[in-house]
Structures are given as C-alpha cells and as structure tokens.
Structure 1
Amino acid sequence: MRVAIVGAGFAGLGAALRLQAEGEDSFVVLERAPAVGGTWRDNTYPGVRCDVPAHLYCFSFLPNPSFSSRFARGGEIRDYLERAAEPVREHLRLGTNVESAVWSGTGWHLTTSAGPVSADVLVLAAGRLTAPRLPEVPGRFAGPVFHSSAWDHSVDLDGARVAVVGTGASGIQLLPDVAARARSVVVLQRSAPYVLPRGDVAYGAVEQARFAEQPDVLAALRADLFAEAERLYDARVGDLGARQEARARALRHLTDQVGDPALRARLTPRHEFGCKRVLFSDDYYPAAALPHVTVQGPLSSFEPDAVLTDRDRHEVDVVILATGFHTTRQPYAGLVRGRTGSTLDEHWVAGMQAYASTAVHDFPNMYILDGPNASLSHNSAVLMIEAQIDYVLGALRQTPPGVALEVSAAAEDRYAQEMAVRSVGKPWTSGCSNWYTDPRNGRQSLLWPGRATEFRERFATFDLAPYERRTVAAAARDRRGGARHDGPVGAESRGAASHP
C-alpha cells in the first residue's frame, strides 16, 4: 500500500480525493466510525451549525451550490461529506479502529480491528475534536448525562429540568432548542463568551440554481467570502483598534438582547476579546433571558438528583455536558511509534509541535493534517487542510517507493519556536483559559498565528531542504542502531521543489 490515511472527516476525505485526482490508486482510508463525516457525523445536537460561511467551509475543488444558508447546519455539512466520499468509497474501511501504527524501518505497519495494514506513507487526519473533555468534579448524577458530541436522542427533554454545563460554541447553539422544550434550564458557565450577531442569510431555490448553473458566480462569492474572512484577522488578532471595535459590537449585541442588568452582568465576558473563541448567535441571549432559564457559575459537584455550584444547588432530571474537547493532547498520539521506538505522545511530552504544522522528526513518511498550529481563529479550517494536502502531495512526489523522508529536529524546533514567538502579544496568550494553549508548556499550539494567505503561500511548494532523505534500507539500519544521516538532504536534491 502506498498511503494509509487515518480518519474520514474533511482532512482524510480531502487527502483521498486529491490522491485519486493525482492518479494514485494505492491508498486506504481507515475510519473507526461506521460513517464518514468526522465532527459533523458525531455532533448531532439541536442547533449544530458552522460559524464559517458555508461556501468557504467546503472543498475548493468540490463546491456545493445547494447550501441553504450562509451558515450551514450540521446535517447539511454531513450530507455534503457523504456525497464527497462517493468517488473514493471503495478505498474506505469504515468501522475500522487503528490500534497501533509502527515505523518498521521499511514503512508503516498498522494494527487495526480489521487486520494489519502496511503502507509507505502514513497520513494522520484524525482531527482535534475527538476526545470530549468531561468535568472533573466530585459526586455522581443518577440520571441521564451525555456530552454534546454524543447526543442521546432517546432522552425526552419535554418538560424536563435540564442542566447545561458550558457556554462555548456547542452550549450556546443547543440552549435555544433545549429551553424551548424543557420545564427549566440551569446554565453553568466558567466564563462568559463574546457573542457577535450571526446575521444569517438564506439561499433560496433561485440562488441555488444560479450557483449550480453558473459556477463562476459561486467562485466569485467564495473569493469575496475569503477576502472578508482574511480581513477579520485584525479584529480577532492583529490591530488593537479593530479588536476594540469588535468587542464593542459584541457588548452592544448583549445590551440589545438582554435587558436585565444582573443577567447582563453574568453574561459579560471578563477576558480580552479573542483570547477565547469568539462565537456567533442571534438566539442565545434571548434564550438565556427566558424566565425559566437561569445562568449560574461553574459546576462544582454532582449529587444523584442535582448539580451544585459553589453557591447553589439545582435539582435536575438531565445533565448536558457542552464542555468541549481535549484539543492539545491527541488520543492517537499514544498509538503511533516512530523510528527510534518512541510514541508520538512521548515525542510531544512537552507539547504538540510539527514542522510546517505537518511533519514530525523521528516519524519518517508521516504527515499530520489539522494538527499543531494548523487551525485559524478568523477563517475556514478547510483552507488550511487543503494547503496541508498540497504540501503532502508535494512530499509524495519526492518520495518514491524505497525512500523515507524525515524532517530534521532542528527544523521542527525552529518552527515551534517561531510559532511561540509569533503568539506572544496575541490575545490567545493574554491569560485566559482557552483550548488553544497547551498546559504542558504554556504555548499556543493550536492556531496558525497569521493569515490563511500566508500559510498557503509559504507551503504551496514542498521544499526538501529541511528533510533527511534516505533509502528504507538505511532507515532500517538506523532503527537497529546503525549509522544515521543527521544533515539536510544531499546536494542532488537540495532545494528541489514540487508544485502541487
């Protein structure tokens, strides 16, 4: 097998589709779930939708004229990915759990629930939103408890007393529907988020037909949306004046929708704008202001029939955990073992890092999509995924069978240091608790600290210079303790590049 891809969300399917388009037929996509879709397969809670304009949140090479609104609902995105997977369906191995992946010196050998898989190249496309973060508090609740990413549709919320733990992206999306059904809702929050108006726009049948019949119109819309999102970088990260203006807009939105001064105070963020994810909603604040909804402090403990804060006790029938994910420590990292026998988790013991946000020293012919410093706070993650796929395809053109590429330790460390330095002074590192910062080293390890345009331009061309290139025979000797080539690639390949 030429390439083994782990994960069938946006990243894994994108890699598979591009490999097929390049004429490569020797690849497999391993997915532990029974269906494709990644986070959009898993998250089926009421109100789930994307905060990025739909026509940016799809593959550039596979536009979708059928999106029903500017911000697509989760089901639409899931359906889009199901359709996108059709051309590579025969390469999918659904319901296949990867139990280990080991570099043998000649290639990658994977142990899976469906049997062994061997491949020259390993692409990890498992994403960051796969391991739910659960509250670590005393006590146990006796009734139904479920995370927003594992919504229990068998639980009847009509007339129930419900606790919603968390006010991040999932929490504010699901609250309006839960509040419409429940007898009472208590919302338990650690810190209030900044919420901007969503301002959604519906696409009717006429517009959808126009997008389908005139691809240039849809392409122009996508280009406009991209330019608009790139300008948001200043409001999220860059210019202080732009950030202050955006913060003022969020606070006006709060004031316009919440009349009660006491509730408004509880819903007012105390952190710097942009330190946490900025959210979008037109119906969260009205739901929070309903008479049968209360907003309290953070969860402190459970009792069999209640949730407790430091001040109050609330008897409830159902607990919904909208508490996010372990984003800076990936569950797959303990399963992957590199050239020297260490796991990826051990390599990342002091924090996640990867050269070009994609390649890791000691792990030859392995590439990570949507991994360290590969996300954005202002634009579509799919743009970054596509840029990384371009990078991986360039690497594959430089990696014929029998050749191993491994990024140097120095290049990986320099890149990690660059990410750390460029994150200093950004709102993400201003002191709040967020999902961008790795607690192991205090570094911001999730976001690319620049615009999407810069990442795409910088890594549109694969450059061999930071890599060590060896035959697999030499790599096998290294694993047995033989000589190792620690320098950059030789003169015969230095500076060679491939344009995807």
Structure 2
Amino acid sequence: MGTRTETGVVVVGTGFSGLGMAIQLRTDGRDDFVILEKEHEVGGTWRDNTYPGCACDIQSHMYSYSFEQNPGWSRSFSPQPEIFDYIRGVAEKYDLYRHIRFGRELTGARWDTDEHRWYISTAAGEEFVARHLVCGVGALHIPQVPHLPGIETFRGTTFHSAQWDHDYDLRGKRVAVIGTGASAVQFVPEIAKDVERLTLFQRTPPWIMPKPDRRMPDWAKRLFSRVPGVQRVYRDLLYWMLELRAVGFNGDPRIMKFAQKIAKRNIDRHVDDPALRAKLTPDYVMGCKRVLISNDYYPAMNRDNVDVVTDGVAEVRAHSIVDTAGVEHEVDAIIYGTGFHVTDAFDDLDIIGAQGTNLGKQWAEEGMQTHLGITVTGYPNLYFLLGPNTGLGHNSVVFMIEQQVRYIAEAIRWVEAEGAGAIEVRPEAQARFNAEIQRKLSKGVWTRGGCTSWYLDSQGVNRTIWPGFTWRYWLRTRKLDPRDFRLHGRSAAPERTAAAGG
C-alpha cells in the first residue's frame, strides 16, 4: 500500500502551464499545494524535445511569462536549451521545487461527492487527496507513433523525435524520416548534413513561411536588462503583430492568400527542381494545418542525399522500407516526426466524476467539451490548462495560460469565500460556450481549408483551436461569472453576487 498525502490543490505537470499555476497559488499566499511530475525534471515539452534544431516558433520575448521577462534571449526564436534553462530558472526563483513530487505519473482521479475531494492515484502507488485538481499536462506530450506494416521485422534503430536517441550516431547512415510536421521541419536540415542518405516520407506538405529569426544584439539585451519597460513595449508590439494574424485564420481569406503567395515564393526561391517544387507545394488553403517557419528546410531538400517520397509506406523489412509504388529504400534507422496525440490525449486517463462517469470515455464518445477550456460539467473542482479549444495557431499559448491560471485561482478563492465544498460549471453554460466556439470554427480556415489536421478529432470536429483574437479570451476570463456555476456543500456563509477576489 502506497503512502497518502493530503493537500489543498494538486497540480499535474511542470511545463509552462503547471508552473504558471503554482506561481499564481504562491502569489495568492497559498502553500497547500503539490505538483505531480512524471519525469525527474521540470520543463514539459521543452524538457522532452531535444532533437537537433529544436526551437520555438513564436518569438521568445512573447513565449515567456509576462511577469518574468528574460532580457538575455540570444535570438528572436530561442533554441530549446535556452527555453529549458528559462523554465528551470523560474521554478528555482519561485521556490517551486519543494512542492514538486518527481516520478509521479497520474494514472487516475476519483471525485468523492460526500467529502468534496479528489482522490488522485499515481503509477508509483502513491495517493494524493486534494480539494482541487488542476491538469496542466498539455497536448504535446504523448508521441504519436504510427504502426508501419512489418516494423517488428526491422533490424535497425527507430525512435520518435520527442524521444531522440542521442547515443545513436547518424553520421554516414541511411535514414528514413516519417512525417513532415513542425519537428521534422526543424531536425531534417540538421541531420541531412551528416547522414549518407535521407529519405523523407511525406504524406501532406506543410506551408512554410520564412523565419524572421535573428541574433539579439548585445545592446538590445543590455537595454532590456537596464530598462525593463522597454522590453515590455517590445513584447506588446510582438503581441499585437502576432494577434493580427488571427484575422486571416478566422476571417478574411484575402490575408491567407497573400501569405500563401509569400510561402509559394519561398518554395520557388529555394527549390531548384520543378518536380520537387510540385511535391513540396500544398494543395490546401494555408492555415488549415499548422503554418510552419523555416529558412533551411527547403534548401535541405535540394541536397543530393535527400529524397522526398510522396508514396506511403507499404511494408518495412529487416533493412529497408518498401513504398506503395513498390520502390524499396534501404535504411539503417527510422525517425518518426509524426507529432503527438492531441484530441485523443485524454482517452486513457481514468478521471471519475460526480456521477461515476469516466471523463476519458465521455470525451472519446462525445468529443472534448469544456467551459472556456477550463472546467467540465459533472467534474467539480477539476480544471484544465490549455484545455480543449484554447490552443493557438497565431500567438503565444503562454498568454492563454496566464489568463487561465488567474481564472482558476479566482474560482478557488470564490469556493472558499462562500464556505462551499466545490464549484461546478452548469451544463447550459458549457453547452452555450461549445455551440459558440463551433459556430465560429465552422467559418475558419481549419474547417474550410480542404485538409485533415491534428486540430480535428475522429469526428472531424475542431477541439483544439481558439477561434479568433486572444484578447477576446482575456475578456472572457478576466472575471469569473457566478451565474455559470453552481456551488456544492455550501455552509451558512452569506450569498455573494460577485466572485471573491475579482
């Protein structure tokens, strides 16, 4: 029998979401919380993804906490080691390590209606009991590894980009890369320089824009350090510049057509062979899939040792891959650049709500539905960070996280101020939110763009993206509306008409 720990709040995950929530709790003067982390260091996706060329595709001065700016970013788009160092530095500065229980993977949680508490189980056999449960696990943490016919007969090395095998020397090897998503666009140019031959299996080409990356000059870093207000202004400019992109994603198709011309010129400028250009040019509207940025991907396609295969994988043999056209490609290693489980990331999570319902099964059957991407009817005192329909295609998700952690903290304060045991979103409020979101998404490029993407669930419904401007999300979450919720287990505390701490 494992040990049991009782606390006020359990936070799951130590990426930007989980640590942001913990900092908000500390800011509120709370010390009664525990952070569960399945690995042995903080960082989330920026700890796990260590593949060559890994970097952010949102400017780092925006992809960071607004309250903890870093004047020392080396580039506009910082590489993974810098972001990882930043996250660890934040965890140390706010004294969060003492709250973290490493090596504790969440396996399930059960709501006790009588006690108004969550009983949370971990793979290590340890149990945690808490009033409130905050899931900051993110969407990009379960690698999507396709089953290739015959893969069990392969005698070479295989690994996913998020589980990079740094002990395997790629120099002089024949390497197959499966997938052409955001990770592959970053690591393919890096490994192409070292391998004997790189065979890139592409199902659908991505739209790739030039990357406006540059080294941050020393004078700018000194200025940001000495006059923090200047960096805040720079961040604000970045925010509004990125925010304008939402107009194209969820509104005016002329903007996407203009951007598409830039991306098309990017292909024509860098790819010499007309047949290869045709392979690399998407046939869907830009923005339907995630728009990528790179300055070295297309030049890498020109290399004599790189082949782009648009036929699928028919069979894997001991030392080769046979494509659907019958061509056999000899390979020593297979690298999966196939992304992550997103809309089905919670299918196996055993979270049991107030009526005995299982959230993973419920979402698998009905589609992921929440209120504001944060709360779920039937699951009191349960909160999600970067939950359904709060992901972005145009701006920094750290902005969304900051709005959510503030909202959750307000919900917790309200429950306590009312002397209640739990808060639960009303079904009609959740239904209203989802109807509004799906109505907006139906008009956007993700639905009308002519592609299938990881934004969509198995029913073809977009459960991932926030449609439109992030400042609208800020407006929706800056103050909790008590009319959207019901309180359970309320004591004789006086009725309130506004949220505590609002």
1:285-296 → structure 2 map (5 Å cutoff) = 285-296=298-309
Matched with 2:3 is none
Percent identity over the alignment?
38
Q: What's the Cα RMSD here?
A: 1.7
Matched with 2:436 is 418
Indicate yes or no: 2:219 matched with 1:206.
yes
Matched with 2:4 is none
Distance 2:412 2:315 in 1: 51
Shift of 1:346: 2.1
Matched with 1:496 is 498
One-letter amino acid of the structure 2 residue matched with residue 39 of structure 1: T
Shift of 1:472: 7.1
Indicate yes or no: 2:79 matched with 1:73.
yes
Aligned partner (choices 67, 71, 95) of residue 61 of structure 1: 67
Matched with 1:484 is none
Q: Is 2:420–2:487's contact at 8 Å kept on the other side of the alignment?
A: no
Aligned partner (choices 451, 454, 465) of residue 435 of structure 1: 454
Distance 2:313 2:23 in 1: 44
Q: What do the CA deviations read for 1:466-495 (whole angstroms, capped 9, x no partner)?
A: 111111799xxxxxxxxxxxxxxx9934x5
TM-score (norm 1): 0.94
Matched with 2:356 is 341
Shift of 1:114: 5.7
Q: Is 2:49–2:162's contact at 8 Å kept on the other side of the alignment?
A: yes
Matched with 2:103 is 95
Matched with 1:482 is none
Aligned partner (choices 1, 4, 9) of residue 3 of structure 1: 9
Deviates more, 1:170-179 or 1:92-101: 92-101
Indicate yes or no: 2:130 matched with 1:130.
no
1:67-466 → structure 2 map (5 Å cutoff) = 67-86=73-92, 87-105=95-113, 106=115, 107-112=117-122, 113=124, 115-140=126-151, 141-297=154-310, 298-311=312-325, 312-331=327-346, 334-348=349-363, 349-400=365-416, 402-430=420-448, 431-439=450-458, 441-466=459-484
Q: Per the alignment, do residues 31 and 81 of structure 1 end up closer, same or farther by CA in structure 2, a change over 3 Å counting?
A: same
Q: Per the alignment, do residues 89 and 417 of structure 1 end up closer, same or farther by CA in structure 2, a change over 3 Å counting?
A: same
One-letter amino acid of the structure 2 residue matched with residue 386 of structure 1: E
User: Which secondary structure does the structure 1 equivalent of 2:110 belong to?
Assistant: strand
Q: Is 1:387–1:456's contact at 8 Å kept on the other side of the alignment?
A: yes
Deviates more, 1:9-18 or 1:343-352: 343-352
Structure 2 portions without partners, runs of 5+: 1-6
Shift of 1:327: 0.3
User: Which secondary structure does the structure 2 equivalent of 1:399 belong to?
Assistant: helix
Matched with 1:18 is 24
Distance 1:413 1:457 in 2: 19
Shift of 1:132: 1.2
Distance 1:397 1:468 in 2: 14
One-letter amino acid of the structure 1 residue matched with residue 259 of structure 2: A
Q: Is 2:45–2:141's contact at 8 Å kept on the other side of the alignment?
A: yes
Shift of 1:341: 1.2
Distance 1:50 1:142 in 2: 34
Shift of 1:443: 1.2
Structure 1 portions without partners, runs of 5+: 475-489
User: Which secondary structure does the structure 2 equivalent of 1:270 belong to?
Assistant: coil
Distance 1:420 1:306 in 2: 44
User: Which secondary structure does the structure 2 equivalent of 1:398 belong to?
Assistant: helix
Q: What do the CA deviations read for 1:278-336 (whole angstroms, capped 9, x no partner)?
A: 00000000001101101011333311211222112211001100001110012476221
Distance 1:46 1:102 in 2: 40
Aligned partner (choices 50, 54, 58) of residue 52 of structure 1: 58
One-letter amino acid of the structure 2 residue matched with residue 446 of structure 1: T
Indicate yes or no: 2:33 matched with 1:27.
yes
Q: Is 2:414–2:501's contact at 8 Å kept on the other side of the alignment?
A: no
Q: What do the CA deviations read for 1:364-420 (whole angstroms, capped 9, x no partner)?
A: 001000110011110001111111111101101111165210111222122111111
TM-score (norm 2): 0.93
Distance 2:442 2:78 in 1: 34
Q: Per the alignment, do residues 25 and 211 of structure 1 end up closer, same or farther by CA in structure 2, a change over 3 Å counting?
A: same
Q: What do the CA deviations read for 1:138-188 (whole angstroms, capped 9, x no partner)?
A: 111221100000000011100000011111100110001110110010000
User: Which secondary structure does the structure 1 equivalent of 2:415 belong to?
Assistant: coil
User: Which secondary structure does the structure 2 equivalent of 1:354 belong to?
Assistant: coil
